[in-house]
Amino acid sequence: MKRIAMAALVIAIAFSAFATDVVKRGVEIPADAKSVTVADVVAKPDAYAKQPVVVDGVVSSVCTNMGCWMQLDSVRVTFKDYGFFVPTDSKGMQVRAFGVAKVRKISKDEADHLEGEGAKLNRNADGTANEVAFVASGVELRK
């Protein structure tokens, strides 16, 4: 009996060494979804505001309080209807995000709040910030 248990343990450890750690949140990302770069979204956000697309990148910053947003370069990714969050330790992880682009002006108070959570914003003279954001309905994170 001990031999069987030991063999099962060895097999389980061997298979887990080949497993990839993928964290999925929100909707499943469709296999046929159009993929664009973060630079494409920043350059032409209106082109990606209606039809969802996939953006790939590395998490450069994440909300340190709850994981309610993350940044890919200069684009802050939020999650549709606050329906899910990402791990607060996901900085540096590879990410695929499925969603739409959005352009908005952030108030000074909200910009202060976001910077307090670790966001990197380009502020206007009055303390507000113009932002190209991405509202994701699904994400996949890999270590």
- pLDDT confidence bin for 9, thresholds 50/70/90: very low
Pairing mode, strands 69-72 and 75-79 = antiparallel
Model pTM score? 0.79
- pLDDT tens figures, 25-63: 999 999 999 999 999 999 999 999 999 999 999 999 999
Confidence check: pLDDT of 141 > 80 = yes
| CB half-sphere exposure, 69, CA atoms < 13 A | 19
State which fold the 23-142 domain adopts: OB fold (Dihydrolipoamide Acetyltransferase, E2P) (2.40.50)
Helices (H), the chain: 2-18, 38-43, 108-116
| Domains of the chain, residue spans | 23-142
Report residue 118 as tokens.
Answer: 């670790």
Whether the Cβ atoms of residue 77 and residue 133 lie closer than 8 Å to each other: yes
Q: Give me the pLDDT at residue 118, please.
A: 85
